[in-house]
Amino acid sequence: GPKMAIAARRSQVEKVVSSMLPGRWRAHWDLEGDKITFEVRPTMPDMVLHEVEPAAALTHAAYKAFRIPIGPDEDGQIQSWHPAVSPHCLVIGGTGSGKTSFQHTVLTHLAHAHWRVWVLDGKRIEFAGFRDWPNVELVGARVEHQVRMLHAAHELMEQRYSQLENGTARLEDFDPLALIIDEFNRANQDEAFGRLLTLLAPVLARFAVSLGPADYFALMVVAFLTVGALMGTSVPRGLV
């Protein structure tokens, strides 16, 4: 009926059926025919193997047509990432779900397609094996190298924007550059921790000074450890 025209209601019905019946279910809605069909979701593969072959010379036309296959969906259709259309790709998942492995696969496709590749290695060792790969120009493991890499990427972006604005270059003149950032969430947590300490430190310091040197030191240590525990991050790293 008309109520099922609302996507949220259809989603609620599907959730109820999936919770009441064993297995994973999905629905096919025929709103015009006032009909709904439920079926068990197909089993997804545990692993998808990629065969990457070296590509021809990188041209602007090749860049626009370049796609990275991700894997089949529930209907067997290959899903892919098209950087020329959607230049950003966010990989999310729990520990051990294959995020870094997928990034390795993406890097392999990019390198074989003659893209310039820069990597921010959040764990310092996950991309060490790619340091000598063709077209992998930078792998930043140390924090200072990672910061410089991000600044260099921003500087390059601004330089290209300026060239486009003043008419000294066209999009076709630029080589595509892929910036892979591993452990992006960890970097965000460290930044948030640093900002939180910046806000709390003056207030805590004024209160602690009134207690005397010994109590001041003890209170500040306890405060930093407490905030660090709440944020799930490293106190020394946040202080730096």
What is the tens place of the pLDDT at every residue in 112-165? 999 999 999 988 899 999 999 999 999 999 888 998 999 999 999 999 999 999
What is the tens place of the pLDDT at every residue in 200-217? 556 655 655 565 555 555
Sequence-separated (6 or more) residues with CB below 8 Å from residue 231: 189, 192, 193, 196, 238
What is the tens place of the pLDDT at every residue in 7-39? 888 888 888 888 888 888 889 898 888 888 999
Residue ranges of the alpha helices (H) in the chain? 7-20, 60-65, 99-112, 143-165, 184-209, 213-231, 235-239
Query: DSSP letter at 126?
Result: T
Distance CA 183, CA 167 (A): 37
